[in-house]
Structure 1
Amino acid sequence: MKKINLYLLTGFLGSGKTTFLKEALEHLKNEKVGVIMNEFGKIGIDGTLIKRNGMELLEINRGSIFCSCLKLSFASAMIEMAERDMDYLFVESSGLSDPSNVDDILEGVASVKGEVYEYKAAICLVDAPNFLKQIEDEDLETVKRQLKHCHMAIVNKVDLVDDKTLKKVLDKISEINDKAAIEIASFGNISFDFLNKDLMKNQWAQSEDTTNTKDNKPKTLSLTYDGDITKSKLTEFLDKISSKAYRIKGFFKLEDGVNQVDVVNERIDYKLSSTENAESKLVIISKIGPNIIKPIFSAWEETVGTKMKLSN
């Protein structure tokens, strides 16, 4: 029986998982590929970016697929995907997900459906400009766990760091996981030779309980807006709240059209989107829990002034 090649994508918020996934889907455009996409927010953003004709896509939102709150949904999605005729399945986990228990979940799927999947690798995307700061943050154990349980690490955005910083990043990765293969990339663009390699030979870490729980799930908010706004006004608003958020992303109608908005560590990027009639909406993942709500409303009132909607 033909097995489905299974790849798990991990990496902290803003590391470039979706960009890498788009590259992988383009490389495999002649293959039958499915994607399970996991986001912490109620509104899925990234699924819009990768969807294409003939691709199987399931989205699991509002938490981590490795947490007890969504673990069953994840297993059910994999069982459902196994019914479809596919060559590859990519699972893009949320940037705050801890995949330490993925082996246990895969065993559960196999007990129901049999050995329909061949687990090829966990691939961890590393945000080169921000990684060293992330790894020192005691509240971000997930960054270390993602690396510990990966079989290949892709150090992304290397165009934004100097050689000295890159060496420090590579040394730190090897300190955490000296077995994983390491690739260097910009914009998630690498050689896809790894698809033909046995990356599971790099397996060394034993399955363990995930750190994702209902209690430590970050506060995630959705901001929607029906009016007109300029890029300069939106930038001013984002500048006021970005230090209080792990990640802000979404789509917004601006003076030059619908823009994909991406904010990581106070860096704001805009990219014109081909998405038609996209609703202006942002997903905000808070660093400070519900305490971010008041600053969001205050910053919006100061910079835009007209009514928007903020929801859980």
Structure 2
Amino acid sequence: MSKIKLYFLTGFLGAGKTTILRNLLENMEGTKVGVIQNELGKISIDGTVLQNNDIQMIELNRGSIFCSCLRLSFVDALTQMAQKGLEYVFVESSGFGDPSNAEEILAATEVMAPGAYDFRGCICLVDCYNFLDQIGDSETIDRQLKHCNLAVLTKVDLVGSEQIEQVKDKVREINPVCPITESANGNIDRSFYDMDLMLYKWAECEDTTNSSKNKPKTFSMDFTGEIQKEKLEAFLAKIEPDVFRVKGFFKVEKEGWEKVDVVGKKRDYAPYEPQPKSQLVFISKIGIALIREIAAAWEECVGLPMKLNN
């Protein structure tokens, strides 16, 4: 029986992992595919984007799959996927996922599901729009690139050629051997399927930096009703300096349901199917103090009842 081709997708918050994965899945009709998706918070926003009756999916939330807090669950999920007769499995890690210990996880999976997987490599997505501003924010970005076998520069359609070259130079400083490709508008060159990415290994397996102690705080907001776009924009602008990421769904007056995605200074909106209620997930730069900032900004900019959850 053929082994399951296994790929890990890494990349910092907002790099476009879900967008790229969705693009890959749309072009795999008739192929038996599994997805393991990992989110830091307890609410899965991106999981709803990927849900498809043809896809076998397992969601692992509230931490990183490379951290001891979820590592056993990750191995168990891979073991479950091995029993479903799949041809491919894609693992989308959280934006703070540090895959430095991926080889240990693969070794543990081999014990539980001997000969099931052909690990094809770790693909790291690099957000060309925000990368140069993010690189100093977290050691995670450095680790993701050190331990990847292919770097994909996303959002190249949003920046100039000079910035693309600057990002490439920085990637090369961190990982001098991995191939580098570019992605515009969420599309990806599929030639990596035919490449032996494992030839491009730079760093040896090491302890991950992910732990329950350094996991960023995440919070969520529930809101019932509609909101003016201008008020939502003002609120998001107010909290922008204190968050790594904001994502979710909101019902906007005159425009209906929209998917909301905030990374750095870039705010994106896209039409989305109706949801039971509006929800936003916040990944904090300032720990639990973000609760106070969210409450104050919401009161000032919107002033309607909402529920904040940790």
Q: Which moved more, 1:222-231 or 1:12-21?
A: 222-231
- How far off is 1:227 after superposition? 2.1
Contact 1:261 1:271 in 2 (8 A): yes
Contact 1:98 1:211 in 2 (8 A): yes
Contact 2:145 2:174 in 1 (8 A): yes
- Match of residue 16 from structure 2: 16
For 1:32 and 1:21, the matched residues in 2 are separated by 15
For 1:204 and 1:305, the matched residues in 2 are separated by 51
- How far off is 1:89 after superposition? 0.3
Q: Give 2:248's match in structure 1, choosing from 247, 250, 264.
A: 250
- Match of residue 234 from structure 2: 236
1:271 paired with 2:270, answer yes
For 2:202 and 2:243, the matched residues in 1 are separated by 34
Partner-residue secondary structure (3-state), 1:101 = helix
In the alignment, structure 2 segments of 5+ residues that lack a partner are none
**What is the one-letter code of the residue matched to 1:91?**
V
- How far off is 1:265 after superposition? 0.3
In the alignment, structure 1 segments of 5+ residues that lack a partner are none
% identity of equivalent residues: 51
Contact 1:17 1:188 in 2 (8 A): no
Q: Give 1:185's match in structure 2, choosing from 174, 183, 186.
A: 183
Q: Report the number of matched residues.
A: 309
- Match of residue 260 from structure 1: 259
For 1:269 and 1:229, the matched residues in 2 are separated by 16
Aligned-residue Cα RMSD (Å) equals 1.0
For 2:149 and 2:36, the matched residues in 1 are separated by 19
Partner-residue secondary structure (3-state), 1:37 = strand
**What is the one-letter code of the residue matched to 2:153?**
V
Contact 1:12 1:96 in 2 (8 A): yes
Aligned pairs for 1:114-263 (under 5 A) are: 114-135=114-135, 137=136, 139-255=137-253, 256-263=255-262
Instruction: Deviation per CA, 1:13-47: give whole Å up to 9, x if none.
Output: 00111110011101212211110000001100001
Contact 1:252 1:278 in 2 (8 A): no
- How far off is 1:278 after superposition? 4.2
For 1:229 and 1:236, the matched residues in 2 are separated by 12
For 1:254 and 1:133, the matched residues in 2 are separated by 30
Aligned pairs for 1:43-54 (under 5 A) are: 43-54=43-54
For 1:11 and 1:4, the matched residues in 2 are separated by 23
**What is the one-letter code of the residue matched to 2:151?**
A
**What is the one-letter code of the residue matched to 1:203?**
K
Aligned pairs for 1:26-175 (under 5 A) are: 26-135=26-135, 137=136, 139-175=137-173
For 1:182 and 1:65, the matched residues in 2 are separated by 25
- How far off is 1:266 after superposition? 2.4
TM-score (structure 2 length as normaliser): 0.97
For 2:206 and 2:29, the matched residues in 1 are separated by 35
- Match of residue 301 from structure 1: 299
**What is the one-letter code of the residue matched to 1:217?**
K
TM-score (structure 1 length as normaliser): 0.97
For 2:299 and 2:25, the matched residues in 1 are separated by 41
Moved over 2 A (4+): 275-279
Instruction: Deviation per CA, 1:258-310: give whole Å up to 9, x if none.
Output: 1000000021111001x233420001000000111111000111111111111
Instruction: Deviation per CA, 1:230-276: give whole Å up to 9, x if none.
Output: 11111111110011000000011112111000000021111001x23
Contact 2:39 2:61 in 1 (8 A): yes
Contact 2:35 2:90 in 1 (8 A): yes
**What is the one-letter code of the residue matched to 1:236?**
A
For 2:172 and 2:6, the matched residues in 1 are separated by 25
**What is the one-letter code of the residue matched to 2:58?**
L
Q: CA, structure 1 residues 152+278, in 2 after alignment: closer, same or farther (shift >3 Å)?
A: farther
For 1:218 and 1:191, the matched residues in 2 are separated by 32
